[in-house]
A and B are shown apart, each in its own frame.
Chain A
Amino acid sequence: MSAAWKSAGLTYNRYLTIASRVVRRSLKDDKRLAAERRGESDLRFAKWENGKQGEAKSLNQANESGFAQAAQSS
């Protein structure tokens, strides 16, 4: 038995992020502003190969497109 998000190619962490985002967005306005600040993440990452830094990319976008690809291929 496997959950729907699993067969869609999401990791548990991604599933958590999306679920928590949905919960935060459905809060009332005053609470939502404070809660959404807790869900913010603005990281950039770069892959390294043979001691050289690659191009810096936004982490959230990379995760989203990465899982979109994984979902399409599976």
Chain B
Amino acid sequence: MLSRAARPAFRVGAAALRPAPACSPLVAQTAGYATLREIEDRLKSIRNIEKITKTMKIVASTKLTRAQKAMNESRVYGETSQKTFEEAETKPIDGEGKKTLLVVCSSDKGLCGGIHSGMSRYVRRQLAAGNLPSDIDIAVLGEKCKAQLSRSNPKNMVLSFSGVGKAIPTFADATAIADQLCLLPTQYDSVKILYNKFVNATAYEPTIIEAFSEEAIKESANFSSFEIDDTVLPSLREYALANSLFWGLAEGHACEQSARRNAMDNASKNAGDMINKFQILFNRTRQAVITGELVEIITGAAASEN
């Protein structure tokens, strides 16, 4: 208020002494007022963002412990199922004219760093390097990888599932997906399930587990020791597929939660840094404005004395 009262006096005084450059400090000062308000608004919005990311981090942390428990339980399913094929020394059938199905286990939700795009990139890299046949069919679980892969490889897509990753994946999910995969018109000689392997809380890597076809199981070296009836072989295959899918889904879910926790942790930290920076800037600007006002008053007083 003081400054506004002093301003006419200052203007008169300044105009009398130096007519031309008199307006320049005035402009700078009004700009100073505007930025002060802007900085304050900015500071407020960053504080809100920090609050949100912090809450999301806490939510992700609680979900992570549950997801990890589910992952450890599902790993038993998957590994036991896989053990059968290890003992039977089953090898995937690769070669010309063999159809392969790739199942990518991602989820619907984002805001968890590069976990989904990491998987999409892995698929693209493997396709480009020729490790996966170019006529491979892709089935995607979850919206995120669907969006990414439908842009780069729309011709390879055969099925997409959504609604994955809302909650901890259940075995009912896995069996339903496995059934739908079995209903596909093409007979696949090999099914590969791509999921994020949980290495530790900060690291994960895209990994492939094999789900074997009936032929591959039949041709495995140690197959005879299991005494499997031919009529139950398809059932075994379907069940093994569901087991592996469940494993992949649960492990992918745990990875996603831990990635989200880390992403939100980083976001809160960055927001904290920005708050500090803006707080200092805000204080400096405010100080500068006060100093400017004082200078104005003193100059005005000095000018009106003369």
- Nearest Cβ distance between residue B63 and chain A, in whole angstroms? 15
Contacts of B234 on A, CB cut-off 8 Å? 11-12
Are B183 and A47 in contact, with the CB atoms below 8 A?
no
Chain A residue numbers with a CB within 8 Å of B161 are: 43-45, 59
Contact B179 A48 (CB under 8 A): no
A45 touches B162 (CB 8 A): yes
Q: Which of B229-246 contact A (CB under 8 A)?
A: 231, 234-236, 238-239, 242
A12: contacting residue among B162, B183, B235, CB under 8 A: B235
Taking residues whose C-beta sits less than 8 angstroms from the other chain, chain B's interface range is: 20 to 34
Contact across chains for A40 and B160 when beta carbons are under 8 A apart: no
Q: Does B155 contact A (CB under 8 A)?
A: yes
Interface residues of B in 22-56 (CB under 8 A from A): none
Give the CA-CA distance A68 to B158 in the complex, in Å. 23
Chain A interface SS verdict (over half): mixed
Which parts of A41-65 form the interface with B (CB within 8 Å)?
Answer: 41-48, 50-53, 56, 59-60, 62-63
Does B8 make an interface contact (CB < 8 A)? no
- Which of B163, B177, B183, B231 lies in contact with A42, CB distance below 8 A? B163
Best-surrounded residue of A42, A43, A50 (most CB of chain B within 10 A): A43
Residues of A within 8 A of B83 (CB): none
Contact of B172 among A12, A39, A45 (CB under 8 A): A39
The answer to whether B238 and A13 have CB atoms under 8 Å apart is yes
B170 and A63 contacting across the interface, CB-CB below 8 Å: no
CB <8 Å contact, B154 and A2: no
* B81 at the binding interface (Cβ < 8 Å): no
A-B interface pairs (CB < 8 A), number? 93
Q: Which residues of A contact B175 (CB under 8 A)?
A: 13-14, 16-17
Cβ contacts A5-20/B at 8 Å (1 or 0 each): 0100001111011001
What range describes how many residues of A lie at the interface? 20 to 34
Q: How far is the CB of B81 from chain A (nearest CB, A)?
A: 13
Q: In the complex, what residues of A have CB within 8 A of residue B154's CB?
A: 48, 51-52
A62 to B157, CA, bound (A): 19
Task: Please indicate the chain A residues that have their CB under 8 angstroms from the CB of B235 in the complex.
Answer: 6, 11-12
Give the complex CA separation of A20 and B231 in angstroms. 23
Evaluate whether A59 and B182 lie within 8 angstroms (CB atoms) in the complex, with A41-B172, A47-B158 already known: no
Q: Beyond A12-B238, A53-B150, A63-B179, is A41–B170 a contact (Cβ under 8 Å)?
A: yes
CB distance from B217 to the nearest CB of A (A): 14
Measured between alpha carbons, how far is A32 from B306 in the docked complex, in Å?
93
- Closest beta carbon of chain B to A40's beta carbon, Å: 6
Q: Does B14 contact A (CB under 8 A)?
A: no
A38 → B minimal CB distance (Å): 5
A59-B180 contact given A46-B160, A51-B154, CB 8 Å threshold: yes
Docked complex Cα distance between A41 and B158 (Å): 21
- Other than A41-B173, A48-B150, A59-B180, give 14 A-B pairs with Cβ distance below 8 A: A11-B179, A11-B238, A12-B239, A13-B175, A16-B242, A20-B171, A20-B172, A38-B171, A42-B163, A43-B163, A44-B162, A47-B158, A51-B157, A60-B176
What are 27 A-B contacts defined by CB distance under 8 Å? A6-B231, A11-B182, A12-B234, A12-B236, A13-B179, A13-B182, A13-B242, A17-B175, A20-B171, A39-B170, A40-B167, A40-B172, A41-B172, A41-B176, A44-B161, A44-B163, A45-B180, A46-B160, A46-B162, A48-B159, A50-B155, A51-B155, A53-B150, A56-B162, A60-B176, A62-B180, A63-B180
